[in-house]
Amino acid sequence: MSAAGSAFAAPSPPTFSFSPSPNGAGWTTSPVTVTVSCGAGAVADPAALGPFGAATGFVAGCVDPVTLERTDGAGTSPNVDTADPTVQAALSPGAPDGANGWYRSSPLVSYVCADGQSGVAGCPRQERLPDGAGPWVRTATDVAGRSGAVAVAARVDTVAPPAPAVSVPANGASYEIGVPRNAEFSCGPDGTSGVAQCSGSYAGGAGVGPGGRLDTGEPGNAGTLGPRTLTLFSVDGAGHRAERTVSYTVVDTTKPTAPVLANPAPDAVTSQRSPSFTWGAAQDSGAGMKEYRINIGGKTYALPASASMQPGFVIPDVLADGTYEWQVFAVDQAGNATASPKRRFRVDPNAVAPPVITQGPQGGAATANRTPTFAFSGLAGATFRWQTLDANDASVPGGSGSGGSPVTLPALADGTYSFALTQVNALGLPSEPAVALFRVDTVPPPAPRVTAAPTVTGDTQPSFAWAAGEQGGTFAWEVLNPAGSRVQGPATTPDTSVRLPSPLGGGAYQFRVRQTDGAGNAGPWSDAVAFTIVGPPAGGGSVGIGGRGLALPATKNAKRMFPKAGAKLLAAKVTLRWKATRGAKLYNVQVFRLKGTKYVKVLSAFPRAPRYKVPKAKLKAGQRYAWRVWPFMGRAKAYAKKPFGVSWFDTRRAR
């Protein structure tokens, strides 16, 4: 072989590959290893380089193993980014503008992104958050392809809940006075923050919840007839409120019962030219009785409702001898009228005087005895006849006859009756009748309902009021301790209210009342209402405002309420504050004006925050006011069983 043929060519320069491979911008997200590659027959020296955590220059060669010829090559490793970009979010407004940590209007979110190595490639745009509970996750990217995220913890609800759906009361409907009706309404779902409160309120401030008692007036009180406006509202967790207003009218379309006629008896004979007329009181379950209209011989006389069963309505006119018809109409406060049956009587100056009923229920009295007995007396040698009529003037089977005293009637159903007795003298002349009007009642009255009672009070002789189960009768009340032992009473009163006659010591008590009707039937006890007597603070007693003695109200948690107990405030600038109760969704603030030892409610408000500014016109200067706060607990969906606190303040005029 010639010398020229024995020469060897140097190896080709090395080629390089990177692991991991860089992206299009020349960056990787982890340290890089360089692999050195050579042509056929050559050996890489070194075979690999790295790993490199940053862009690094390097040199490597290809070596011919036979001739040891070497060819070098140089390169630089890719850029390496080992840290994620950062992204920060800023909300405007910075604090939620709704309740319970919710935004009621969508907040504007701005983002700031940073990356100290490869630089920021993408950053979220400014935005307004959609409705929802979040969190809202937004991502930033850098040039190397790394990403970083931020979670925006913001709860957003910009939509009010649907207005309550209501079936009772129906808008424009009429409801009978005193007939119990429950409000039937519901608050639809709120898909974002949920329904926090579903309730209703009247213009006067009284509230009613779903299933609560509708205001249908008070039986016997015509002043409670008329229109009502009930505002139903749904409040969601963010504080949005949706309302529906319903108007209805309390009416009285029920007629009173027919008056039961007493005297003169049917076909009676009287020697009186201006006779006396008596009848039993009509019952009216609605607005109450207004008057009676008595028609005698075609002439009508109007009399007040109290005229029934008085000593008797003596006709102001003089009647001629002859036969007359009479009838009584019962008219209630709404103008509804009911007529009694008609009766006839005859005026005859020769009529014999009536006998005398000496025993038995009369004068409209009630009896629980179904078989009452009547005793009577009359003229010597006279014979007696009697007749028993029901409320419709129909003769009672077995209730008529003749003979002597006494007479026991057959068993009577509950209702109103008249027992008419006449005598015939020895000459055969009939007398005027003696009439006993009475009522059989064997049914006990329902339990009364306590309508006014303290909860926590410093008055050691508190007052209570109740609604009767039925009209008339008497009431027995008593005060019990928590063990159920009687500490005051039982005492009887004809009234539907009482102030305890003797002071109670501090502690917990219960009050209850029962009714006994005019027939002597005793009804069940009312539900017992609990109340607590708290002693006055040290140095308590009565203090004067404007020369008047006023009680020093009892307090509870007053140190957590502002202004402090006993503060003197401008009547037009009173703001009440208290420490927030955990879990409370809203509060019921009640303010009372002290009138002697009595508490007169001034207002009742429902703020969501633990503060309430009293409207200027609500308070008067020179007065003493007590106030208390009841939290509404969201989880329980009910007001706390006891008030958060009770305090008081005085008001003064501006100087």
Taking all residues of the chain, what is their mean pLDDT, rounded to a whole number? 89
Q: Strands 32-37 and 15-19, how do they pair?
A: antiparallel
Residue 190 neighbours by CB distance under 10 Å: 21
Domain boundary among 501, 533, 565: 533
Asked whether residue 637 falls in the same domain as residue 551, the answer is yes
Domain boundary among 156, 174, 197: 156
Q: What is the pLDDT of residue 535?
A: 57
What percent of the chain is predicted at pLDDT more than 70? 94
Give domain status of residue 144, yes or no. Answer: yes
Per-position DSSP letters for 570-585, written without gaps between them: ETT--EEEEPPPTTEE
Question: Is the separation of the CB atoms in 357 and 434 below 8 Å?
Answer: yes
Task: Please count the helices (runs of H) and the strands (runs of E) in the chain.
Answer: 0, 59
CA distances, 184 to each of 166, 170, 227, 366, 634 (Å): 6, 9, 19, 40, 22
Structure tokens, 40: 């056929």
Give domain status of residue 4, yes or no. Answer: no
Asked whether residue 319 falls in the same domain as residue 435, the answer is yes
Asked whether residue 360 falls in the same domain as residue 497, the answer is no
Q: Strands 86-92 and 108-114, how do they pair?
A: antiparallel
Asked whether residue 522 falls in the same domain as residue 547, the answer is no
Residue type at 427 in one-letter notation: L
Asked whether residue 73 falls in the same domain as residue 132, the answer is no
How far is 160 from 240, CA to CA, in rounded Å? 5
CA distances, 29 to each of 87, 88, 150 (Å): 18, 22, 20
Question: What's the average model confidence in pLDDT over 224-247?
Answer: 94
Asked whether residue 56 falls in the same domain as residue 100, the answer is no
Asked whether residue 198 falls in the same domain as residue 269, the answer is no
Q: Choose the weakest-confidence range: 92-101, 185-194, 399-408, 450-459.
A: 450-459
Asked whether residue 268 falls in the same domain as residue 407, the answer is yes
Q: 515-539: buried (b, 16+ CB within 10 Å) or exposed (e) per residue? A: bbbbbebebeebebbebbbbebeee
Residue 366's Cα: distance from chain center in Å?
39
Q: For residue range 40-77, what is the model confidence (pLDDT) as tens digits?
A: 989 999 999 999 999 999 999 999 999 999 999 999 99
Give domain status of residue 299, yes or no. Answer: no
Give domain status of residue 300, yes or no. Answer: no
Give domain status of residue 296, yes or no. Answer: no
Q: What does the DSSP 8-state code read for residue 14? A: P
Q: For residue range 103-113, what is the model confidence (pLDDT) as tens digits?
A: 999 999 999 99
Residue 515, domain extent: 449-533
Cis amide linkage into residue 162, ω under 30° from 0: no
Give domain status of residue 184, yes or no. Answer: yes
Residue type at 155 in one-letter notation: R
| CA-based end-to-end distance of the chain | 131
Question: What's the average model confidence in pLDDT over 149-178?
Answer: 95
Check: pTM over 0.85? Answer yes or no: no
Domain boundary among 138, 156, 174: 156
Asked whether residue 354 falls in the same domain as residue 428, the answer is yes
CA distances, 289 to each of 226, 259, 335 (Å): 17, 11, 9
Structure tokens, 245: 């207003």
Question: Is the separation of the CB atoms in 89 and 138 below 8 Å?
Answer: yes
Helix or strand (DSSP H, E) at 423: strand 415-424
3-class state of residue 101 by DSSP: helix
CATH of the domain at 575: 2.60.40.10
Asked whether residue 410 falls in the same domain as residue 483, the answer is no
Question: What's the average model confidence in pLDDT over 6-25?
Answer: 88
Asked whether residue 171 falls in the same domain as residue 148, the answer is no
Give domain status of residue 297, yes or no. Answer: no
Per-position DSSP letters for 150-205, written without gaps between them: EEE--EE--SPPPPPEEEESPTT-EEETT---B-EEE----TTT-EEEEEEEETTS
Task: Count Cα neighbours of 595 within 13 Å in the Cβ-side half-sphere.
Answer: 9
Q: Show Cβ contacts of residue 134 under 8 Å, excluding neighbours closer than 6 positions.
A: 151, 152, 153, 154, 155, 156
Query: What is the count of structural domains for the chain?
Result: 6
Question: Is the separation of the CB atoms in 557 and 646 below 8 Å?
Answer: yes
Length of the chain: 655
Asked whether residue 500 falls in the same domain as residue 370, the answer is no
pLDDT at 531 over 60: yes
Q: For residue range 508-521, what is the model confidence (pLDDT) as tens digits?
A: 999 999 999 989 99
Q: Choose the weakest-confidence range: 166-175, 423-432, 441-450, 539-548.
A: 539-548
pLDDT at 546 over 50: no
Give domain status of residue 292, yes or no. Answer: no
Q: Choose the weakest-confidence range: 305-319, 331-345, 450-464.
A: 305-319
Q: What is the pLDDT of residue 312?
A: 74
